Amino acid sequence: MDLQARYRVPALTGLLTVVSLALVFGAVLGAIPRSALPAAPASVLGAIPHANAVVSALAIGTIVGGVRAIRRGNVSRHRKLMLSSFGLFALFLVLYLYRITLEGPTDFTGPSVVETYFYLPFLAVHILLAIIAIPAVYYVLLLAYTYPVSELPSTNHPRAGKLAAGLWLISFSMGIAVYAMLYLIW
């Protein structure tokens, strides 16, 4: 356990959150120059949204499995599944940032009435939940990293973990629905 980090969990959570959100908003708003990244063939860029949908579905499975494991008292399995969830999230984020930096956000091609009254509000809620989930996930992971397992029940880890897992599940699920609207339905 890293005692220095233990006393800096809120500050580290804030730092990681700011860096993550700066990268996402920088990519979405075009602040990251395309020349900063190596080019990829169109087929690779085109495959990223589909790969990210699979990664999201896998993350949903590992999060649900992690929640079930801890409810059954299997701390080791819980830890492995939640670290796998974070790894999947990191993979998703790298792929998403790469594609968005090179190509920009995908336009909605469905009916404008659907875009205005369903897609955009749905997307806004998805984005808001993802933004809220990021610090919750970092906070829970940092607590798990800086405290021995025996002490975690006396920290905010159990409560914050429920919130983080719930937000993560909803955000990943909504992300798959956004994917379906952009690539499967319209």
Q: What whole-number percentage of the chain has pLDDT above 90?
A: 96
| Token pair of 138 as six digits | 């970092």
Q: Determine, yes or no, domain membership for 112.
A: yes
Q: Residue 93: pLDDT above 60?
A: yes
pTM of the model: 0.92
Domain that holds residue 84: 41-184
Number of domains in the chain: 1
Q: Determine, yes or no, domain membership for 69.
A: yes
Name the pLDDT band for 5 (thresholds 50, 70, 90).
confident
Q: Distance of alpha carbon 36 from its chain centroid, rounded?
A: 23
For residue 84, the model assigns a pLDDT of: 98
Q: What residue has token string 């990251």? A: 32
Buried b (16+ CB within 10 A) or exposed e, 168-186: bbbbbbbbbebbebbeeee
Residue 54: how many other CB atoms lie within 10 Å: 13
Q: Determine, yes or no, domain membership for 125.
A: yes
Q: Is the CB of residue 136 less than 8 Å from the CB of residue 89?
A: no
Name the pLDDT band for 4 (thresholds 50, 70, 90).
confident
CA distances from 112 to 47, 118, 145, 148, 169 (A): 26, 10, 47, 53, 28
Q: Which long-range contacts (C-beta less than 8 Å, at least 24 apart) are formed by 111-117?
A: 111/186
Q: Determine, yes or no, domain membership for 111.
A: yes
Query: How far is Cα 88 from Cα 17, in angstroms, rounded to an integer?
Result: 17
How high is the mean pLDDT of the chain?
96
Q: What whole-number percentage of the chain has pLDDT above 70?
A: 98
Mean pLDDT calculated for residue range 99-115: 96
Q: Determine, yes or no, domain membership for 35.
A: no
Name the pLDDT band for 2 (thresholds 50, 70, 90).
low
Q: Determine, yes or no, domain membership for 52.
A: yes
Name the pLDDT band for 1 (thresholds 50, 70, 90).
low
Name the pLDDT band for 50 (thresholds 50, 70, 90).
very high
Q: Residue 124: pLDDT above 80?
A: yes
Query: How far is Cα 40 from Cα 98, in angstroms, rounded to an integer?
Result: 10
Q: Determine, yes or no, domain membership for 22.
A: no
For residue 102, the model assigns a pLDDT of: 95
pLDDT in tens, 129-154: 999 999 999 999 999 999 999 999 99
Q: Determine, yes or no, domain membership for 19.
A: no
